[in-house]
Amino acid sequence: MVGSQIAEVLKSRHPRFPEGSKVVAYVGWRDLTICSPDKMKAVFSGVLPLPDLKGLPNSYALGAVGMTGLAAYFGLLKLCQPKAGDTVVVSTAGGAVGSLVGQIAKIKGCKVVGFAGTDEKVKWIKEELGFDFAFNYKEVHLDSILKKFAVEGVDCYFDNVGGEFTYTVTRNMNEFGRIAICGAISTYNEDAKNNKVPFDYASMVYKQIRMEGFMINRWFNEWKDATLQLAQWIHEFDDNSQNPLSSEANARFYPAPPFRFPPSPPQPLLSRRVE
């Protein structure tokens, strides 16, 4: 199972990972692990020293300050490059990544329009996360909504769904718009060999729109700085009731839930998952 964990180093011959230190290990869900950190090259693998979370629970390194937060951080800031005053559209905005994307966009001074799949999520991202506008995509006409609530056009689109939804957003984008493709959930159950989705070539060409997919390991060398920035934002907004990420009423940087596993049989190991 792909996943990450907070682990304690039990035995080590690596200078960056002394025995007794804590690490964030992208090694799947397991109790015991043997690995050579410098040789781990797969997309979802790697071991990093547990960052200084400035007093936040370590579990945040598995969620808002971990892979989830990093996907939102790098996808939005590196690819969409939002500027103050830009209009940012987020699909699956009630999800783990999308909800963080919208909040970071607000930090950058953007107008944020989010779409989710339930009325409960719509209410949450609008009233508690500070999205400017939020809609249940199942109950609205997307093109009409964008023309009314993104009347000056869409500058940035954080795409989690693909398909018809992305086609419609693309047609409403401004010149030099930026699209970050994090996922395409609307196509995941389709036959990969015959998976054809609508695509507006004319808008892409004449509006000079940039669309780019990404994996967060591209910025592996920047993870430390990114996690520190995410942790800092959380602390700042907990202390400032006027900020879009402040307090329990306005911020939902949820730590990852704890997972428990059956014990593994004794074996040589490098690290052990921390309960």
- Choose among 49, 51, 54, 46: nearest CA to 18: 49
Measured between alpha carbons, how far is 230 from 252 in angstroms, rounded to an integer? 13
The more confident residue out of 28 and 137 is 137
Percent above pLDDT 90 for the chain: 56
- Choose among 259, 207, 232, 221: nearest CA to 48: 221
**H or E element: which one contains 125?**
helix 119-127
Instruction: Tell me which amino acid residue 161 is.
Output: V
In a 13 Å sphere around the CA of 219, the CA atoms on its Cβ side amount to 20
Length of the chain: 275
Residue 261, pLDDT above cutoff 50: no
The more confident residue out of 255 and 196 is 196
pLDDT digits (tens, 9 = 90+) for 38-61: 887 655 667 888 988 888 898 888
Helix 223-239 with 67-74: angle, nearest 10 deg: 100
pLDDT of amino acid 147 = 97
pTM for the predicted model, two decimal places: 0.82
pLDDT of amino acid 42 = 58
pLDDT digits (tens, 9 = 90+) for 60-74: 888 899 889 999 999
Domains of the chain, earliest start first: 67-217 (3.40.50.720)
pLDDT of amino acid 102 = 96
3-state secondary structure 151-197: CCCEEEEEECCCHHHHHHHHHCEEEEEEEEECCCHHHCCCCHHHCCC
Query: Are 37 and 17 contacting, i.e. CB atoms less than 8 angstroms apart?
Result: yes
pLDDT (average), residues 83-101: 96
Q: What is the mean pLDDT of the chain?
A: 84
Collapsing DSSP states into helix, strand and coil, what is residue 93? coil
Q: If you ran DSSP here, which 8-state letter would residue 134 be given? A: E
Which pLDDT band holds residue 269 (cuts at 50, 70, 90)? very low
